[in-house]
Amino acid sequence: MKVALAYGQGHLEVELPDHTEVLRPRPSPGLPDERAALLAALESPIGCEPLREWLSPRAKICIIFPDITRAMPNARVLPWLLAYLHQHGVTPEQIVLLNSTGTHRPNTPAELETMLGQAITTRYRVINHYCERDEDLVAFGTTRTGVPALINRHAAEADVRILTGYIEPHFFAGFSGGPKALMPGVAGLKTIMSNHGAANISSPQATFGINAGNPIWDEMLEISQRVGKSFLLNVSLNEAKDITGWFAGELAAAHRRGCAFVRESAMTRVDAPFDLVVTTNSGYPLDMNLYQGVKGMSAAATIIKPGGTIILAAECREGLPAGSPCDRLLRTAKTPAELLARIASPGFAWPEQWQAQIQTLIQTRARVLLHSAMADDLVRAALLEPCPDISAQVRAELQRLGPTARLAALPWGPLTIPYIAA
């Protein structure tokens, strides 16, 4: 059978055996009137008063929005939100729009214009967060390892914080959205490295679908609440990027409601593990680089047999990206086992080590191949095997494994999180 894998800004069609178990998100229709549903959510939020009651004539307002690596429909959501604020007396001069880049690169002016629309970038103050600029950060106590809990000054000093984003299962934070807009979205590098440290990443609770009891998510929420009261405006999306739900209101309560909604469409039970799993990183923008690609690997890893094979299709138009902290870290070792041992050594700390740690943890259980636009030597430098032809590779694997081998495909990658029935 032919299966269309999400890849870049289109699809990659591959030929897979008829017995392949294809796991997709459950169908979730878009809202018939997204804007009307937003306005209703702002007027009847979860766990707090309507957003208009948070506003005052001179209030400083910080709207935090996701960066270019996220599929959040900023260009639709933000004009509706801004119009609502203006309707209730807020002027453009009161507003700062803060790009929650976390440890990612800043977005260019052209990218911001594409993400937000020219009407926003020319009328409002739009700024990138820089996690290493200490002068831009304010401390709110310390993390659980004693590192300062640093948050961007624009968010920290605002009278009204509005956290936008979208909710999907996250490979070590349980679900995205919610407190992630502040921590790690606009947090300091040292703070993020502490929260994403090797001990937390290796916790069995730091995985898809688990928030409470997950040491990473618990601390994200704790630090975000120290900053003060924030109004959450999260969405859920289907694979067409239509908005399927709005979750607005008090940070923790609104996020809980959204996670419960997303769990129903995005998490799928299977009866037994698979010998071979073909997965993606859900296409653009999440498969822009290999740093994000570990999410697609992680989705497949939830159902792979020990010693099985994962094939990831991710365009990686930006490479890893080259020269990034993760790129440099992967190049320090010749094998996944060597790198994993280094990361686990006492006192080791490296920016973005969590991506390499999760990748190499997966590689202790499975072989991982990558189909991408990257040159083969760059794929091997990232400690992965190139896969130029997915269909041919699957045929070769099944010839080796025999006709009883179990095969699954995740055409939308981490938009579908499978788990094995207990």
Q: Which residues are catalytic?
A: 104, 170
Peptide bond into 321 cis (omega under 30): yes
In the numeric block, which tokens belong to residue 290?
Answer: 């290999």
Residue 25 and residue 267: Cα distance in Å, rounded? 8
Six token digits for residue 167 = 């909710």
What's the rounded Cα separation, in Å, for the pair 270 and 418? 7
**How far is residue 399's CA from residue 359's CA, in Å, rounded to a whole number?**
27
- C-alpha 301/C-alpha 363 separation (Å) is 9
| C-alpha 333 chain-centroid distance | 26
Q: For residues 193 and 349, is the Cβ–Cβ distance under 8 A?
A: yes
State the burial class of residue 111 (Cβ atoms within 10 Å of its Cβ: 0-12, 13-18, 19+). middle
Q: Which residue has the tokens 């790009």?
A: 99
Question: Which one, of 410, 158, 181, 383, lies nearest residue 277 by Cα?
Answer: 410
> What's at 339, amino acid-wise?
L
Residue in 117, 132, 122 with CA at minimum distance from that of residue 65: 117
Q: If you ran DSSP here, which 8-state letter would residue 147 be given?
A: -
* Bridge partners for 249 per DSSP: 46, 232
